[in-house]
Amino acid sequence: MKLHLIRHGHTNWDIIDEKGVKGMAASAAPLTQLGRLQIETIANDYRLADAEIILSSSYARALESAAILSRVLNKPLHVEYDLHEWLPQTDSLQAADEELILEASKEFVKETSEIVPWEKFSEVKSRVLSVLKRYREYNNIVVVTHAVVISSLLGIMQSVDNAEIVSIDIDNDIGVDIDERLSEHLLVATM
């Protein structure tokens, strides 16, 4: 299976700030004109030509990016909630706790047996892999998501630019053991 992991285009955070939007409601932030242009541009990338399906996070910035790709590539689009951004605060109904978010940002990659109030790096990977299991009949998939989600699949924290494509190959016959076997089957990560 070939996965083309794409980070959403440049996001219009100014509108969120102007409206005073806080917490999970900020996930409604759309793309900027630059973000739309970024996605329109990468839609012509040769790596995406053979894609069979596009999967997208439900966050507006990813969904708008995926909609553009779906239109240009003429491929079906499926929205998958579990492709969403990393949660620095797992209780999404609480007001944002800036100190907690800062601590989570420094600590979430570390694996610990302690219960922490943020989503761990391994938990991000696990929820994303649960989505991919449902699509293993496809050979070539575009996944529009977020930088931390892409990093979790690669197994390393890595900067991923807006509209960047990270292509990886994994064994088509992964079956139900995708969680344990993914790292064994990563053949190439192309930035």
* 178-185 helix and 121-133 helix, angle to the nearest 10 degrees: 100
Compute the Cα dihedral for 119, 123, 125, 127 and give only its sign: negative
State the Cα–Cα distance between residues 133 and 36, nearest whole angstrom: 30
Surface-to-core class of residue 137, CB atoms within 10 Å of its CB (0-12 exposed, 13-18 middle, 19+ buried): exposed
Tokens standing for residue 76: 């079906």
Domain ranges of the chain: 2-87+119-190
On whether the CB atoms of residues 48 and 4 are closer than 8 A, the answer is: yes
| Residue corresponding to tokens 């759309």 | 30
Residues 6+ apart with CB under 8 A from 146: 7, 8, 57, 59, 62, 84, 85, 86
* DSSP codes of every residue in 101-128: HHHHHHHTTS--SS--SS--HHHHHHHH
The strand order across the sheet containing 2-7 reads 77-79, 53-56, 140-145, 2-7, 165-169, 189-190
How would you write the pLDDT of the chain (191 residues) with one tens digit per residue? 899 999 999 999 898 889 887 777 778 899 999 999 999 999 999 999 999 999 999 999 999 999 999 999 999 999 999 998 866 545 555 555 566 555 545 555 556 566 555 577 778 888 899 999 999 999 999 999 988 889 888 887 778 999 999 999 876 554 434 444 444 434 333 33
Considering the entire predicted model, what is its pTM? Answer: 0.81
Residue 52 corresponds to which amino acid? E
Tell me, what's the pLDDT at 181? 42
Which DSSP helix (H) or strand (E) runs through 184? helix 178-185
CATH class of this structure's domain 2-87+119-190 = alpha beta
